[in-house]
Amino acid sequence: MLKKFLNTILQVGYLYLFALLGNLLAKWLHLPISGSIVGLFIVLCLLHFKVLKLSAVELGASFLMSEMLLFFIPSAVAIIQYKNEILQHGSQFLIVILLSTITVMVVTGLVAQYSIRRLANKKGEIGR
């Protein structure tokens, strides 16, 4: 139990280091993408070339991913700083965001589902 706990913390540390490395690279090379996505690609490469073992980061990654909503909370609390904008335009913002999010999800989901089924039919499989 304690060993698993310490291992998780250690692995979160590793992943943090890759994120920092990604940040540095993104800055030096003037990449338009963010450091954490650069870090993701670095880890993906290291796993692919077997430099990094899956077991060395898996525990930390699944911990971070399962508690990810926690890391969004402070940015969500930041909304209180924009009281004026929200009082003035809040309902407009909400309408745009809700309608647009539904539209995006419906289109992406239907396009993906349609293409998967078409591919499955071509190959004579049942699309699932």
Partner 1 sequence: MIAFICILLTVLVYYLSKQLYKKVRFAFLSPLLIAPCILSSMLVGFHIDYSDYDSGGRWLSNLLQPAVVGFAIPLYKFRKVMKKYAKIIAISMTAGVTIAIVSSGLFSHVVRLNDHYLLSLLPRSITTPIAMAVSVDIGGMPTMTAIFVIVTGISGLILGPMVIRYLHIQEKLAKGLLLGMGAHGAGTSKALEFGSEEGAAASLAMVLAAIFTLVFAPILTPLILL
Start-to-end CA span in the chain (Å): 39
Closer to partner 1 at the Cβ: 1 or 70? 70
- For residue 10, the minimal CB distance to partner 1 (Å) is 12
Angstrom CA distances, 100 to 66, 75, 85, 86, 103, stand at 27, 21, 20, 18, 5
- For residue 8, the minimal CB distance to partner 1 (Å) is 11
Q: Is 127 in the site for partner 1 (CB under 8 A)?
A: yes
- For residue 2, the minimal CB distance to partner 1 (Å) is 20
Give the CA angle between residues 56, 62, 63 to the nearest 5°.
100
Q: Is 16 in the site for partner 1 (CB under 8 A)?
A: yes
How many Cβ atoms sit within 10 Å of the Cβ of residue 46? 15
Footprint of partner 1 on residues 24-83 (CB under 8 A)? 32-37, 39-41, 43-44, 47-48, 54, 57-58, 60-62, 64-66, 68-82
Give the one residue of 24, 115, 121, 125 binding partner 1; rule: CB under 8 A: 115
* CB-CB contact of 30 with 19 (8 Å): no
Q: Is 5 in the site for partner 1 (CB under 8 A)?
A: no
